Chains A and B, each alone.
Chain A
Amino acid sequence: MRRVCVIGAGMTKFVRRAKETGKELSFEAARMALDSCGMEFKDVQCVAQGTAPDAFDGMHMKAEYLSDGSGAYGKPYSRSYVGGGTGVFTGCHGWWHVASGMFDTCLVIGEEKMSSCFPHPQGAFVTIFDNFTERQLGPNLVWIFALEMNRYMTTHKIKKEDIALVSVKNHGNALDHPSAQLGMKITVEDVLNSEVLAYPVQRLDISPTSDGAAALIFCTEEVARKYTDNPVFVDGVGWHLDTSYWTDRDLYYPKYVEKAAKMAYKMAKIDNPRKQIDFAEPYDPFDYKELHHMEGLQLCGKGEAPILTRDGVTQRDGALPTCPSGGALGVGNPIAATGVMKLCELFWQLRGEAGKRQIKNNPQTGVAQAWGDLMQVGTVVVMRSGGARP
């Protein structure tokens, strides 16, 4: 199997309401990724597109519409799609284009324009529910994640204060991200005093809705050598999707994330993730999800993530920096673009190019993860810097 390299990354600023169309956002991110490594569209052999529900943009076959903006004109192009897990999954999608031997270079791109969905994209989420058994109840995502958050808190006797620390950390980290939508200095009290949406979910527990795009350049080692001395390697990918019947599952633990992580770790020859992974970018559309996902990713035991957070382990200068970018909570959450943004963060951190966000002590291995659907899918990518070997 060929080892897949990452040699370029780029992303637009994440904003609440972009003036650019989805095509233009995609183009901007793709252009930045190409510029970052001195490539042109003609140097890219294929395009792997990620973009989540068509209902956001109101575009049927959204990927076809985006294709020219994403540089796919005249090229092999396909869209992969697993709801909220799409972004990181686009990394898996791009990975197999190169690892298979079919292509030497691949543009990996995630785009989302949620603001087209008026007045609020939450309205589009009603249509994700089962059309016989659930949709008539008019549910939305905040409600069902409130159920999950409650179950997680109850099972492990977790205090809301400990969960709020994630929101404080990620909004704070985002202050150092030039593309962030919601970098801000807040306190635990601010989170606890914010508007209750569906208890225990409060306003500052949730990531914003956003428009944006992010892109990466994947290639073989041979191609990478032509463009850089410092490539980053995609050494593991994994994805798992659980049953549609989410009401039949115990929501306290994301088994599908564990399975996805183990698939990626096996590929990357990681047998002790707690020791071998230097930092993580788990998906954090809600603050409790970061904790939930750290446990799924085997970075700590069940129920231990809030303790690590309280002890400062997950701070940027801690032993396991988690969401050093600012995550979905701080940088913003244009669904498919968020996951690719997390892959970009792995790339920049492993290259030592993360600027004010740079983790100290030369991190060698990072993991990014996304999650979505009906609390159902886990997608995982492990990257290593050029210095580290499996």
Chain B
Amino acid sequence: MSRVAIVGVGQTALKPFSPEVSYKELMFEAAVKAYEDAGVQPRKDVESFIGVSEDFWEGTSIFDEYLPDQLGGALRPVCTIGNEGLAGIANAAMQIMTGQIGVAAVESHSKFSEVDRPLKVMQMAFDPILNRPLDFNPHLVAGLEMARFLEVSGLPRNDCAKVVVKNRKCAIGNPLAAYPAKVSSELVLKSEETFAPLRELEMSAAADAATVVVLASEEKAGKLSDNPVWIDGMGWANDTPTLESRDWARARYAEWSVKQASKMAGYSAKKVDLYEIDDTYAYKEIQHAAALGICRPADYSKYIRGGNPPINPSGGSLGCGHTLDATGLFRLGEAVEQLRGLAGRRQVKGAKRALVQSWRGVPTTAGAVMLLSSNDAALAPAGKGAVQ
């Protein structure tokens, strides 16, 4: 199995609103940055383009129609993957691993500020026969899940607020972030209890942005880049889509994804230097950390106080903003910056390996995990924590 490298990332700043640009202009900006970073000519060098998007968020059916031009992909192999951004990366990586594609680009974006009635769109994701007639706010599912998670895990309620404090503070060091702030646990716990026990400040706010990632085969990466970042392992999985039959306490999609990714990489999630994991809601960071084997929920507070590999040094979705299915790509880009040693104020010293994890949001149980390593780490033998 040949290795796949990330050789370029283009990211626009995350913003609560972006009336000054269309989604096409947003995509174009990210694409130009990514191609420049990778040193590729899209019309000549990029052999496959993948857009990760969903029709209802775009307000356009068959959205792949509007992908090619601003990516430089007209009359080239272009397709849509309808999933989270990291699944788009996995599909591009598989294309490269067949040996038929040398360089591929993956794009995803959010133009959330232009979605007229986002809650109505989210409601359309519920089972049309069993759930949708109940006409409830989709975030209610997160409230219910949080309640169950707190009950089963024994996690102190106030620890969820600490996630918000940490991530919004980290975002202060991130020039791309939309919601950096110094907030206190008290403030978080005083915010409105929107979907009990979930509180308003524990829900990430949406942002507009586009991300483009350029991937290359080992052979092409050697020619294109001095500091490629390698995809050592990838995993993605779906739990049941029905609300009625899922395990409300555990993020099993993350457990399955990390198992697959670790097996491929030959090292466990514990052998990395930083984590970029999903924090769409504050409790989700703790639930995902448990699923990935980073720390038990009861130990979370201790974990983030200690000198452990940091969770979400980027600021996460709580600090930077949630960019729909582009969220995973944005966080992948953050991890790539870290592994290249270019993360500025938020740089994790000596970061050689990173884990990125994503979740598609309510009401889905779809998620993915990527294990990445820097070019120097790739020369070193794999970690000892290989999963059987």
Interface flag for B267 (CB, 8 Å): no
Chain A's nearest CB lies how many Å from the CB of B81? 6
CB contact between B61 and one of A55, A66, A238 (< 8 Å): that residue: A55
Once the chains are docked, how many angstroms separate the CA of A233 from the CA of B236? 27
Residue count of chain A within 8 Å CB distance of chain B: 65
- Closest residue of chain A to B48, judged by CB? A239
A76-99: CB near B (< 8 Å → 1, else 0) gives 111111110000010001011101
With A127-B61, A244-B68 known to touch, is A65 a contact of B94 (CB < 8 Å)?
A: no
Chain A's nearest CB lies how many Å from the CB of B77? 5
In the complex, chain A residues whose CB is within 8 Å of the CB of B54: 54, 60-61
Main SS class of interface, A: mixed
Chain A's nearest CB lies how many Å from the CB of B14? 22
Which residues of chain B in 86-123 are interfacial with respect to chain A, using CB atoms and an 8 Å cutoff?
Answer: 87, 90-91, 93-100, 121-123
Contact A102 B97 (CB under 8 A): yes
With A1-B99, A78-B236, A242-B68 known to touch, is A65 a contact of B125 (CB < 8 Å)?
A: yes
In the complex, chain B residues whose CB is within 8 Å of the CB of A241: 64, 67-68, 73-79
With A96-B98, A101-B1, A243-B68 known to touch, is A58 a contact of B62 (CB < 8 Å)?
A: no
CB contact between A55 and one of B55, B81, B97, B236 (< 8 Å): that residue: B55
Interface flag for A372 (CB, 8 Å): yes
Contact A60 B75 (CB under 8 A): no
A112-125: CB near B (< 8 Å → 1, else 0) gives 00001000000011
Interface flag for B60 (CB, 8 Å): yes
Once the chains are docked, how many angstroms separate the CA of A81 from the CA of B87? 13
B249-266: CB near A (< 8 Å → 1, else 0) gives 000100010001000000
CB contact between A77 and one of B62, B73, B238 (< 8 Å): that residue: B238
A: which residues have CB within 8 A of B?
1, 21, 52-55, 57-68, 72-83, 89, 93, 95-97, 99-102, 116, 124-125, 127-128, 130-131, 238-245, 255-256, 259-260, 263, 267, 372-374, 376-377
8 pairs from A and B in contact (CB 8 Å cutoff):
A1-B100, A57-B128, A64-B241, A74-B237, A76-B235, A77-B237, A81-B64, A100-B1
Given contact pairs A58-B124, A74-B238, A81-B64, enumerate 20 new A-B contacts (beta carbons under 8 Å): A54-B61, A57-B128, A61-B125, A68-B242, A77-B236, A78-B83, A78-B87, A79-B81, A82-B79, A83-B65, A93-B91, A99-B100, A100-B98, A127-B61, A128-B62, A241-B73, A372-B62, A373-B64, A373-B65, A377-B78
